[in-house]
Amino acid sequence: MEKITLAYPIEDEGKQISTLELRRARVADLEVMERESGNMAKSIVLLSQLSGLSTDAIRQLDAADFDAASEQVAGFLA
């Protein structure tokens, strides 16, 4: 698990989220991601899969935090 501290915490289901814990991607996660059209939708779904947060919560992320999380995920796939 990789932890990312959010520069701009979000609230999800009444809880404040200040860190994302991302697990490494599995083939099943990539299959779910591939069902989406568009790069942004794919990124949102994959981050949701790896963090356990809803896609609505991922959509609340500040753009800088989303970018940092996306870079971490890209490192998993390299």
Report which of 71, 40, 67, 65 is spatially closest to residue 55, judged by C-alpha positions: 40
75 vs 8, which has greater pLDDT? Answer: 8
Structure tokens at 39: 């790069």
pTM of the model as a whole: 0.90
Q: Contact 70/43 with Cβ under 8 angstroms?
A: yes
Q: pLDDT tens-digit profile of 46-71?
A: 999 999 999 999 999 999 999 999 99
Using the predicted structure, report yes or no on whether residue 4 has a pLDDT greater than 90. Answer: yes
Cβ burial of 77 (10 Å; 0-12, 13-18, 19+) is exposed
